[in-house]
Structure 1
Amino acid sequence: MPTAEPPKPVAPPPQESASYGSITSPRSRKQLGLFFAGASFFLLSTVITRRSLVRRYKEITPKFYQPNTRPNTSFNAGLEAFEALNLATVNVCSIAMMAGGGMLWAFDISSMDDMRRKIRGGLGIDGSGRSEKDAEEEMEEWLATVLARKEEKERRRKEGVEEKRTNERGAPR
Structure 2
Amino acid sequence: MATIADVARRRVQRSMVELGYHPNAGAKALAGRRSHITALVTLLGPVRKVVGMTSASRSERTVGHGPRAGTTFPVEVATHVAGVLEHASGALSTLVMSFDVWAAGLPHIEIYGTEGSLSVPDPNHFDGPVRLFRAGAETKDWEDVPVRVPKPDSRSTSPAPPCGPLPYRRTRAGRSPRTPAADTEEAKEHAL
Q: Same fold (TM over 0.5)?
A: no
TM-score normalised according to structure 2 size: 0.18
Q: Which has the higher contact order (CA 8 A, sep 6+)?
A: 1
Higher Rg: 1
Q: What is the TM-score of this pair, normalised by structure 1?
A: 0.19
- Where is the strand percentage greater, Structure 1 or Structure 2? 2
